[in-house]
Amino acid sequence: MQQRRVATHHRDVVRFSVAEEEEEEEARARAMLCRSTVSLQTHSFTRSRAVNINTGVCRALTKKYPELGKEKLLMHLVASTPGEPGKRFATAETLKLFDQATRLPWASPCDPKTLNRATRDHLNTQPEFAMQCSLASLRWMSMGYGYEITGLDVQDIHRLAMDAATVIQQTDQAHTTNA
């Protein structure tokens, strides 16, 4: 009878030990996420700084918390500037997160010259991304955003939009969007 109690007791100890280890693992994961969230909140002071600082912060956080990944860190940085996701466009582009970078300038104003540069840089390597950048740039220019925008800037980005549309064989869509 006592052997059964010992065996049962041993199984309970093992079960308890496994459950305890799982709880500790979960607590460690929660603590790591909390630390990274606090770190991200601490780094959100970069809102008013230059884009290269934002990109540098994201890269530093990616190295410090590789388990979170670039996408999740970018989402945290976007969340740290509510209503201004366009400010994180250059960070997303630099990190080569083109899907996210495509969405950001459509969500809020983004500097047209930054979008123009991205269009030129990625015209041959990421033509779909380049076309979206150029169309977003034209949108924000037409709404009065940008610093010292000239007619030449508008013509240049329009030409680049048409070049990107030609590369991806969507010239009809580009003509319709620009009309």
HSE-CB of 69 using CA atoms within 13 angstroms: 5
Q: What is the structure's pLDDT at 172?
A: 65
pLDDT in tens, 46-66: 333 444 556 777 777 778 878
% pLDDT > 90, the chain: 32
Classify residue 29 by its DSSP letter. H
Contact between residue 54 and residue 90 where contact means Cβ atoms under 8 Å apart: yes
Classify residue 85 by its DSSP letter. G
- SS3 label, residue 110: coil
Residue ranges per structural domain of the chain: 1-83, 109-179
Query: What is the rounded distance in angstroms from the CA atom of residue 120 to the CA atom of residue 127?
Result: 10
